[in-house]
Amino acid sequence: MKLDNVIYATVTRPSMPPLSEFISFLETIWESKVLTNNGVYHQQFEKELGERLKIKHLSIFTNGTLPLTTALQSMRITGEVITTPYSFVATAHAIHWVGAVPVFVDVDDFGNISTRKIEQAITPRTTAIMPVHCYGNPCDFNGIQEIADRYGLKVIYDAAHCFGVEINGKSILEFGDMATLSFHATKTFNTLEGGALVCRDSATKTRVDYLKNFGFAGETKIVMPGINGKMDEFRAAFGVLLLRHIDGEIAKRKKIAEIYRESLDRVEGISFFHDIEDIKHNYGYFPIFVSEKRYGMSRDSLYEKLKANGFHARRYFHPLISDFLPYRGLPSSNKKNLPNAVKISEEVICLPIYADLQKDYVERIAEIIQLK
C-alpha cells in the first residue's frame, strides 16, 4: 500500500544539468548584464544546437508554440490547413492564430496523420499540411511530400517530440518546408520553456528572425508585423549546458523503455510501440494502449489504479483536439471521420519515463499493470 498523498513518480521529470556547472554560466550573465536580445549564450546555443541536430538553418524561440505560428506566418498560410486531432492543442491553436482553419483527418496506428486521408480532405482552400511526428515516431514523409507536391501545398512538421530523432543518420527535421521543436520542461531535451524553427535556407531564416523580434531589421526599421519570440540568456545558457549531458540522459531513458517492454510484452490487452529499424529514438514517451475487452479493465480504471499507488501517468492525447470547445463545431471534428484517433485516444496511457526514474519504481509500475 502506498502512503496517503505520496507521489512516487510522475509521467516525466525534466533533465537538468549539474547546478555547480550552471552557476558559472549565471555568473557570466550577471557580469555582462545582458539578459536577452541575442546575447552571447543565445548565439552559442543556436550554433551548438544546430550542430548537434545536424541542421544548418535554425532559429531558437522562447517556447514551442511560437515557432509553429511563425512558420505559418512566414509562409503566409491562409485558408485551410490539414492536420491531426491527436496532438497537444497548440498544433491547432497555431493554425487558428494566423487566421487559418484546421481540418482534422484520421491517424494511423502510430498516432500519426494518415497519408491516405490527407488527399480526401483537400479543397480549393487548402494551403498547407501540418503533420505531427507523434511520440517522435516519423510520419510517412515521402507520401505526405508526394501529395503536397501534387497539389502545391506547404508542409510544416510539428516535430515537438523529435529532439535528436534521426532516420538512417539524417535528422527528421530535414523533411517538409519547415519543422518545429519544443523544449518545454516535459520534453526529452528542455530549456525550461523554449523551442526552435528549422527552415531550408538563409533567406528564410532571416525572415523568421525578423518575425520573432517584432519585425525589426535594424534599430529603427520594422519590415513586418512580428512578435516577441526571443529566447533569453538564462534559458539559452541552460540549453548550452544540457546539450553536454543529454546523450547520457537519453541512454537512461532507453533502459527504462527496455524494462517496460520486457515486463509488459506478454500482458494480454496491453500493447506498445517497439523501436523502429533505422530510427534513432529519444525515448521521450512510453505510451501503452489498453484494450478493455482483452485486458479486462478500462484504460481509465488502470490510470486511476496507477495514481492510487503513487504513479501519475498521463493520457497523451485525450481528449482529441477536435473534442475541445474551440474546435468541436468544425465539420472535420465529426468523430465518425476519426475512428482510429478516437480509439487510440480512448486507450492510451503514457507511463512515467525520465532519466532518474528509479528502476524499482519502473518494475513496480509494470507489476501493477501485470496484476490487473
List Cβ neighbours of 3 (8 Å cut-off, separation of 6 or more): 310
Q: State the pLDDT at residue 372.
A: 80
Helices (H) and strands (E) in the chain, counts: 13, 15
Q: What architecture is domain 9-14+246-371?
A: Alpha-Beta Complex (3.90)
**How is residue 165 written as a grid cell?**
530523432
SS3 call for 365: helix
Angle at the Cα of 338 from the Cα atoms of 335 and 340, rounded to 5 degrees: 125
Domain ranges (residues) in the chain:
9-14+246-371, 19-243
Question: Is domain 19-243 classified as CATH 3.90.1150.10?
Answer: no
Check whether 1 has a pLDDT greater than 50. Answer: no
Q: Is a pLDDT exceeding 60 seen at residue 2? A: no
Pairing status of strand 166-167 against strand 170-171: antiparallel
Give the pLDDT score at 5: 75
Question: pLDDT band for position 169 (50/70/90)?
Answer: very high
- Taking the C-alpha atoms of residue 216 and residue 227, their distance in angstroms, rounded to an integer, is 10
Say which residue the cell 546523450 belongs to: 247
Specify the pLDDT at position 242.
98
Q: Are 357 and 313 in contact (CB under 8 A)?
A: no
Beta-carbon contacts of residue 110 (< 8 Å; ≥ 6 apart): 134, 135, 137, 273
Q: Do domains 9-14+246-371 and 19-243 have the same CATH topology?
A: no
Kindly give the pairing relationship between strand 126-130 and strand 154-158: parallel
What's the CA gap between 80 and 129, in Å, rounded?
Answer: 9
Q: Enumerate residues 6+ apart whose C-beta is below 8 A from 197.
A: 58, 59, 61, 67, 70, 71, 178, 179, 180, 181, 208
Q: With cut-offs at 50, 70 and 90, classify the pLDDT of residue 4.
A: low
- Cell reading at 216: 525589426
Cα distance between residue 208 and residue 75, in whole Å: 10
d(CA 371, CA 359): 18
Q: How would DSSP label each residue in 81-144?
A: EEE-SSS-THHHHHHHHTT-EEEE--B-TTSSBPHHHHHHH--TTEEEEE-B-GGGPPP-HHHH
| Spatial distance between the Cα atoms of 366 and 209, rounded to a whole number of angstroms | 46
At residue 344, does pLDDT exceed 90?
A: yes
**263 vs 246: CA distance, rounded Å:** 26
Give the 3-state secondary structure of residue 197: strand
- pTM as predicted: 0.97
What percentage of the chain has pLDDT greater than the value 90?
98
Helix/strand/coil for 210? helix
Please give the Cα distance from 29 to 35 (Å, whole number): 7
| Rounded Cα gap, residues 73 and 97, in angstroms | 9
Residue whose cell numbers read 535528422: 171
Q: What is the pLDDT of residues 57-110, one digit of tens each?
A: 999 999 999 999 999 999 999 999 999 999 999 999 999 999 999 999 999 999
pLDDT tens-digit map of 225-259: 999 999 999 999 999 999 999 999 999 999 999 99
Greatest CA separation for the chain: 67
- Sole residue written with cell 554560466: 25
